[in-house]
Amino acid sequence: MSDLDDETAVDGVDEVVNERDAGSAAARRLTDESLAERSNGGSTEQEPTGGHHPTGGESDTSFAGAAAAWGPWGAWGVAVSCTLMVLVAAASLFWMEARGADFDPQYMRTVVERTIRFGGSYYENAVHNKGPLEPFLYEIARRVGGFDGFWFMIALLSLAAACCVGAAAHVVTRLAGGPAVIGASVAAGTIVHFTLSGADYAGVLYARNITVALLCVIVVIAGTDACWTTGRRRIASAAGCGVLAGLAVQTLLTTVFAGSVVLLWVVWRRGRLETPRSRAGVWIVIGGAVGLVSAPIWYLLRGSWRDFVDGWWVYARFMSEATDRSLADQGRLGWDSLFEYYRERPEVVVFVVLWGVVTLVRWHRLDGAQRALRLMIGAWFAAAWVELILSQRYSSHYFAVLAVPTLLMLADLVGQATARLARTGATHPILAWMPALAIVLSLQIGALEGLRVGVESMWAVQSTEEFTERRESGYSGRSHTMRATLDAVSDEQDPILAWTSYPWTYIDLHRTSATRYIWKTFLLGEIYLGRTSEEFVLDGTWDRFADDLAESDPVAFVVESGNPVDESTPFADVVESDFTPVWEDGDGTLSFRNDVAEWLEPNTAGTPVDLADGDLIATDEPVRLDAGLDPVVPVVEIGLTGTGGVDASLTINRTNGSVDVDSWRSGVANWVRNVPAPPDAGVTIIVADDAVLMAIDGVVAGAVSREPVTAVWITTGADALLDPVESSAEPPGSGG
């Protein structure tokens, strides 16, 4: 079908439509203006209709393109503004790389790590009560950025989401009548706020940051005339808006309110150019349906329908029901939260009230497009509060859904206040400096710390590996020692079983969850900010738990002392029967699978080895030594040497009845562990590919990472190991 077949002209403009399809820019403007005049009923006193501005003047050019008209000072303003924006973008990436590793994002990373390790769908690898778009983006970050660059890729996606919000603010400023340079200024300030500010929704990639970004892209498409100039473009734009809204609702079901508001505005704004009036609406509905049902159909076809429904629908329903609040109670909580929110942010109240007053005062002067724009922004603001109220949770990062329509109110006010500049075509060079001024003001309002940290990190970090090194340099010596212990008997991203409520249990140890029940909450029916009950445990949970455990066959189990295993659960039976503790202290317990724990016990059946002070134990090949400790010699040191000298060591200091083992590695915190050591104690030294582990009578005494160490040696004042033997350095199978 040709473009002319797709176009349906309103009475009296058929010839104009034909000229437009031939490429006449003047005809495009005439068509829009004629239609706007007809839709306004011939009103003579109107504000500038959203989407087009008078010919001539700065408003018909882009921000950078107006430099010539502004002269030398204007060119400098453009250069400074662009330089500042590049600096903000670069600094924000390095700032958000650390900031992005928040609680829920870390959980999402564990979901993705497990999915990559075991295959299958996200819902077969975790309990996830949102749509698949969020883990999909996280998987892209993991596959592109790798282990070390993962959070940098998340920062890049966060920046992209902030730019989507900034673009929407720019479009609203223009639709309100403001010139392009003012729109660029509002966009720049918005991006600074959503990346470097202290707001908890800034600099992170939560599900709500994703949904508001999708809705903002719809605003940009609907407000950009170039997306609607031909029949094919209109179909693609309308369907695309629907798909984006469908994906937003699929990601978070409560987004349906804000999504509906934005789509209704798109239908009104763009549907008026067609007959029948609903054609754009038809394509939006089709696109929305495709976006919404794409995930259910996909999981139905791949045979994991039940896993998808259990997480996306059933568990989401649990999170609502567990609060035990009626709709009226939800409303009362929402009112209290609203009052508390604005009591802490009086400046936001000023913006919202001012926008409302200005809108009411000028309502009679607004044309249809301008009224629709204000109705959309106000309804989006109300829908955001409805979304928060129905979610029944008011975590600080949830307020991203409210921040966006509030910022659009501000953009609308700025656009109206500067509309005269667009109408008169003002070209004063000071305008070129407005984006730079907006960036500086936005930085002053709570974003300077983010800028400072981002710039410092930008100069300090030279590779993605350094991201990991900087983060892990802050880990405790216990964490480093426990991870080295696991490295000696398994590989990175191998499964471990954990009874925990924290995502970093896996991330800090570079391991993945042995089952889809990454947190114990899913096994106990604990609902965040709700009650705990077995009725909130998904049907078939314990059968799936057993199946996952059989598939993964984890080498280890970890649990925190302050969060003991519930003894009434099948989980406790598994731990009791299949695992043996090898490390217990005040913070928690590390257990190995029974066969691995047995293998760790001293073994006297092996090949005798002559070992003296200063001898080399191993270079490239794994080695295991078993012996007794000399009761006379108090100090034994196992040193690890790399290309730059001594990089790590395990130092044994024997005291009466016990030994202190100091696990030390350059650049990270060390860990001193005391373990019992009777006179006849046996010591096991395992030099694996990735770590060196020392155990006393089967109890882990210390461990250090071997990478990139090439040589391992022993030093004492005398023969410290009695009759050592060399035996198998390969542990039993280390997991699925």
Q: Please provide the DSSP assignment of 591-606 as one string.
A: EEEHHHHHHHS----S
Arithmetic mean of pLDDT, 489-501: 94
Residues 531 and 674 both lie in one domain: no
Q: 10 Å Cβ neighbour count for 8? A: 15
Q: Does pLDDT of 64 surpass 80? A: no
Give the DSSP H or E segment for 8: none
Residues 175 and 91 both lie in one domain: yes
Residues 620 and 553 both lie in one domain: no
Residues 718 and 607 both lie in one domain: yes
Omega cis (within 30) before 405: no
Q: Does pLDDT of 16 surpass 70? A: no
- Six-digit token string for 466: 């350094």
Mean pLDDT, the chain, whole residue set: 84
Question: Which of 27-31, 123-127, 373-377, 652-656 bottoms out in mean pLDDT, i.e. has the lowest?
Answer: 27-31
Residue 549 lies in a domain: yes
Q: Does pLDDT of 19 surpass 50? A: no
Between 397 and 381, residue with greater pLDDT: 381
Residues 514 and 634 both lie in one domain: no
Quickly state the pLDDT bin for 63 (edges 50, 70, 90).
Answer: low
Per-residue confidence (pLDDT) for residue 393, from 0 to 100: 84
Question: Which of 248-262, 555-569, 664-678 bottoms out in mean pLDDT, i.e. has the lowest?
Answer: 664-678
Residues 504 and 514 both lie in one domain: yes
Q: Does pLDDT of 440 surpass 70? A: yes
Distances (CA, A) of 399 to 7, 220, 328, 361, 385: 42, 22, 21, 29, 9
Residue 273 lies in a domain: no
Pick from 100, 124, 125: nearest CA to 110: 125
Written as one string, the DSSP assignment of 96-147 is HHHHT--HHHHHHHHHHHHHHHH-S-GGGTS---S-THHHHHHHHHHHHHTT
Residue 222 lies in a domain: yes
Q: Considering 599, 614, 635, which residue would you say is the last residue of a domain?
A: 599
Residue 672 lies in a domain: yes
Residues 606 and 595 both lie in one domain: no
2 — phi, psi (to 5°)?
-75, 170
Domains in the chain, number: 4
Give CA angle at 141 (139, 145), nearest 5°.
Answer: 125
Between 119 and 644, residue with greater pLDDT: 119
Per-residue confidence (pLDDT) for residue 53, from 0 to 100: 42
Quickly state the pLDDT bin for 92 (edges 50, 70, 90).
Answer: very high
Q: Does pLDDT of 220 surpass 70? A: yes
Distances (CA, A) of 332 to 395, 398, 473: 17, 18, 46
Handedness of CA 48, 49, 53, 55 (dihedral sign): negative
Residues 497 and 543 both lie in one domain: yes
Residue 623 lies in a domain: yes
Pick from 484, 471, 358: nearest CA to 417: 358
* Virtual torsion, Cα 41, 281, 241, 231, nearest 10 deg: -80
Domain that holds residue 24: 3-44
Arithmetic mean of pLDDT, 695-720: 78
Q: How confident is the model over 510-542, as pLDDT tens digits? A: 999 999 999 999 999 999 888 898 999 999 999
Q: How confident is the model over 75-91, as pLDDT tens digits? A: 788 889 889 999 999 99
Q: Does pLDDT of 441 surpass 60? A: yes
Q: How confident is the model over 175-209, as pLDDT tens digits? A: 999 988 899 999 999 999 999 998 899 999 999 99
Arithmetic mean of pLDDT, 99-103: 88
Written as one string, the DSSP assignment of 621-674 is S-EEEEEEEPSS--EEEEEEEETTEEEEEEEEEEETTEEEEEEEETTS--EEEE
Per-residue confidence (pLDDT) for residue 632, from 0 to 100: 64
Residues 95 and 109 both lie in one domain: yes
Per-residue confidence (pLDDT) for residue 34, from 0 to 100: 39
Residue 146 lies in a domain: yes
Give the DSSP H or E segment for 585: none
Question: Which of 314-318, 605-609, 698-702 bottoms out in mean pLDDT, i.e. has the lowest?
Answer: 605-609
Q: Does pLDDT of 274 surpass 80? A: no
Give CA angle at 166 (162, 170), nearest 5°.
Answer: 170
- Residue 191 C-alpha from the chain's centroid: 17
Residues 341 and 217 both lie in one domain: yes
Q: Does pLDDT of 476 surpass 60? A: yes
Q: Does pLDDT of 125 surpass 80? A: yes
Residue 206 lies in a domain: yes
- Residue 614 belongs to a domain with what CATH number? 2.60.120.560
297, with CB counted inside 10 A (0-12, 13-18, 19+), is: exposed
Arithmetic mean of pLDDT, 688-711: 86
Q: Considering 435, 450, 465, which residue would you say is the last residue of a domain?
A: 450
Arithmetic mean of pLDDT, 495-519: 94
Quickly state the pLDDT bin for 636 (edges 50, 70, 90).
Answer: confident
HSE value, Cβ hemisphere, 13 Å, CA-based, for 94: 22
Most confident of 181-185, 393-397, 679-683: 181-185
Residues 191 and 72 both lie in one domain: yes
- Six-digit token string for 26: 């003047």
Residue 565 lies in a domain: yes
Pick from 500, 507, 575: nearest CA to 110: 507
Quickly state the pLDDT bin for 613 (edges 50, 70, 90).
Answer: low
Residues 393 and 502 both lie in one domain: no
Quickly state the pLDDT bin for 724 (edges 50, 70, 90).
Answer: confident
User: Could you tell me if 503 and 106 are in contact, meaning their C-beta atoms sit under 8 angstroms apart?
Assistant: yes
